A = this chain, B = another copy of it.
Amino acid sequence: MKVRVQQEDFDVGTEIAAMRRSRPKIGAIASFVGVVRDVNDGDSVATMTLEHYPGMTEKSIAAIIDEARGRWEVLDALVIHRVGTLKPTDQIVLVIVASAHRGDAFAACEFIMDYLKTRAPFWKKEITPQGGRWVDARVTDDAAAERWQQPVSKVK
């Protein structure tokens, strides 16, 4: 289980290959990449700057992964979140979950993303033609995280 907060880009293939290596119990790897879009709330976005809370951010993500491990069968997990200035089409965040079965891998991966969105201390500032603006938290993100409070059906 690894958490990395970094300015550098990442490569999904490299990370998945490292996770698979010598781990013959792994049958399913679900992953998610968040990408900077060129439009948000109707305005075009030139660049985006991500700020975090060093220390607490890493601890929060580790706690989210631990919670996922308590709910599903997780053989390994990795979260990489970039900070600093990014532009449209740049990768922001990577979540990879390996499990024996695909149902667990998908559920744990989506759970980690939803919780990361609402619990990990990151803040986005977008530069648009109208100037800089801090992105507001989304009600839909809270709703996405909250649905995991209900009992979840397990499909393996």
Contact = CB atoms under 8 A, between A and B. Distances in A.
Stoichiometry (number of copies): 2
A152 interface: no
A89 B12 contact: no
Nearest to A44: B24
A137 to B, nearest CB: 14
Interface in A16-33: 16, 20-33
Given A12-B12, A106-B110, A32 B28 contact: yes
Q: Could you say which interface size class chain A belongs to?
A: 35 or more
Interface string A88-114: 110100000000101101100110010
Contacts of A91: 20
A153 B147 CA distance: 10
Q: What 7 A-B pairs are tightest by C-beta distance, nearest first? A: A13-B13, A24-B38, A24-B88, A11-B13, A29-B33, A27-B37, A12-B13
A140 B156 contact: yes
A12 B20 contact: no
